[in-house]
């Protein structure tokens, strides 16, 4: 279960909250409404990787629907990059 803390309390006790966030999420509220969350960095990274994986799965499905393979997409992207005039 997450702990809720007002932004005013969060400002005065950030160090304590960072320690607490190692055990459970800390929800920072503004005027009683959730505004932000403090998570352990490892959890943030896990969520970021999960989001990236989800995006890749979605892209894969979309490519499959239009009949484009990952190899075709890679080759087309590669050709486009190679044809770009690079400024010096």
In sequence order, the 6+-apart residues with CB closer than 8 A to the CB of 49 are: none
Q: Angle CA(74)–CA(80)–CA(81) in degrees, nearest 5?
A: 90
pLDDT in tens, the chain (88 residues): 889 999 999 999 999 999 999 999 999 999 999 999 999 999 999 999 999 999 999 988 998 899 998 888 889 999 999 988 875 5
* H-state helical runs in 13-69: 14-21, 41-66
Reported as type and span, the H/E element at residue 3 is strand 3-6
Does the model's pTM come out above 0.75? no
Residues 2/28, Cβ–Cβ less than 8 Å? no
């Amino acid at each position: 279960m997450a702990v809720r803390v007002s932004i005013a309390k969060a400002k005065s006790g950030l160090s304590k909250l960072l320690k607490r966030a190692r055990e459970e999420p800390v929800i920072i509220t503004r005027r009683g409404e959730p505004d932000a969350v403090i998570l352990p960095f490892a959890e943030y990274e896990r969520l970021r990787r999960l989001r990236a994986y989800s995006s890749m799965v979605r892209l894969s499905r979309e490519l499959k629907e239009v009949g484009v393979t990952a190899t075709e997409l890679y080759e087309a992207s590669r050709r486009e990059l190679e044809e770009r005039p690079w400024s010096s």
